[in-house]
Amino acid sequence: MTDFRTRWHEATSRVGHVFDTLPKPVRITGLLLFVAFLYVLPNKSFYEYLNIPGLWIPLYTTSNDMAAVLFYCAWIVLLSLGLNVVVGYAGLLDLGFFGFFAVGAYTVALLTSPESKLITEYNWLESPWPWLVTVPIAVALALLSGVLLGAPTLRLRGDYLAIVTLGFAEMIRIIAKNQDWILNGDRGIPQVAHPPGKWSDGTPIFGLAFKPYYWLLLTVIIIAIFLIRNLSNSRVGRAWVAIREDEDAAEIMGVPTFRFKLWAFAIGAAVGGLSGSLWAGQANFVNSSTFSLENSILVLAAVLLGGAGSIPGAILGGFLVIYIPEWLRSVGDVFGLPETLTFAGRAYDVSPTSLRYVFFGALLIIVMVFRPQGLWPNRRRAAELKDRQKEVAVVE
């Protein structure tokens, strides 16, 4: 097992070294081509030719619309980037990230839907607001929620902070489920507005179709990467790393730890709120069923799978946690695998669709055993984990 880890580490390091030694214009050109590839990817006339070389197994999903899968991938990637600021950079364990997502989604739904009780029952609004106006409000309210939650709780550490954030997300979900005054309980809020814009023939660009929303999310992700990368390379980012490595030492050295942890929490919450506002526009409907604990865990799994503290890792992890289960659903179609298996006179569902999360869970376990630092870790973070492993070995 140790030999395998060593060979894997050497192979990935060699790939990274080759990329770093390329001339800067070549790297920029390669990056632009990759971005262009991502924008073209949801077109069927393009992705239907993508397959595993030699095996002719399609890389696209045959059981679900590829544009829909890419939209959900982009949605989780944006959430992973936000959570990566909190967990990866500042080292704060947040299990309630979907609570901020819910704040953003409900804000857009309440202000843009003609079925909102703010319009139909209480007359607080004369008419629905444009979607574009409500997005900054949703982001601001999510950020404020992060500050209000973080201010009294960020003096806690580790498991205690995780329990508090978990309680926050569950509180939001239960209120949304049972509160009938404005949020309409489980019946939710329908007819949420879409972003503006029309094609040349006058039809709206944004409706229930996934492809335009994928392009919108991809653009937002590129902007978010640029902002978060600059922030991580600034004084703020260095303070987050110091807090993550040793909070007590950082405080002794004069770093205002509480203030920088609150910054990380608020920025992560704002990204979560932005993701919720974009999702609400596409879904056209908001209720409490989306804001379950499983989704918060899924985003955290994406960050850890890709590599906490690494922007490429958060992107890769967010993509894989959605794409792999959906692709596994297609495997049965490609190979003509049976849907059921009869044993002792009783039929059992053995379709890849039903078992895809079993395979995906096993894959996650294998990755965490062989790559605890994630598939694409931050170099500093990987070095920290390596040092801690040595310390543990010395103590033993």
pLDDT band with cut points at 50, 70 and 90 for residue 141: very high
- Asked if the model's pLDDT at residue 115 lies above 60, the reply is yes
Q: Check residue 331 and give its pLDDT.
A: 74
- Asked if the model's pLDDT at residue 394 lies above 60, the reply is no
pLDDT band with cut points at 50, 70 and 90 for residue 70: very high
Beta carbons of 80 and 306 less than 8 angstroms apart: yes
Q: Check residue 202 and give its pLDDT.
A: 83
CA dist 58 → 155, 209, 332 (Å): 50, 23, 12
Q: Check residue 7 and give its pLDDT.
A: 65
Q: What percent of the chain has pLDDT over 90?
A: 32
Q: Check residue 392 and give its pLDDT.
A: 59
301, with CB counted inside 10 A (0-12, 13-18, 19+), is buried
Q: What is the mean pLDDT of residues 202-228?
A: 92
Q: Which of 173, 179, 103 is nearest to 141 (CA)?
A: 103
**Between residues 340 and 83, the one the model is more confident about:** 83
Q: pLDDT, tens digit, for every residue of 261-302?
A: 999 989 999 999 999 999 998 898 998 887 878 888 888 889
Q: What is the mean pLDDT of residues 70-95?
A: 91
Q: What is the mean pLDDT of residues 30-57?
A: 84
Q: Check residue 54 and give its pLDDT.
A: 66
Q: Which two tokens stand for residue 145?
A: 């929620």
Across 180-184, 259-263, 331-335, which has the greatest mean pLDDT? 259-263
- Asked if the model's pLDDT at residue 104 lies above 90, the reply is yes
Across 165-179, 292-306, 310-324, which has the greatest mean pLDDT? 310-324
Q: Per DSSP, what are the bridge partners of residue 286?
A: 189
User: For the whole model, what pTM was predicted?
Assistant: 0.88
Q: Check residue 269 and give its pLDDT.
A: 93
User: d(Cα 182, Cα 119) in Å, to the nearest integer?
Assistant: 10
Q: pLDDT, tens digit, for every residue of 232-257?
A: 889 999 999 898 888 889 888 888 98
- Asked if the model's pLDDT at residue 332 lies above 80, the reply is no
- Asked if the model's pLDDT at residue 120 lies above 70, the reply is yes
- Asked if the model's pLDDT at residue 53 lies above 90, the reply is no
- Asked if the model's pLDDT at residue 228 lies above 90, the reply is yes
Q: Which two tokens stand for residue 176?
A: 């949304």
Residues composing the chain: 396
Between 31-40, 90-99, 143-152, 347-356, the lowest mean confidence (pLDDT) is in: 347-356
Mean pLDDT of the chain: 84
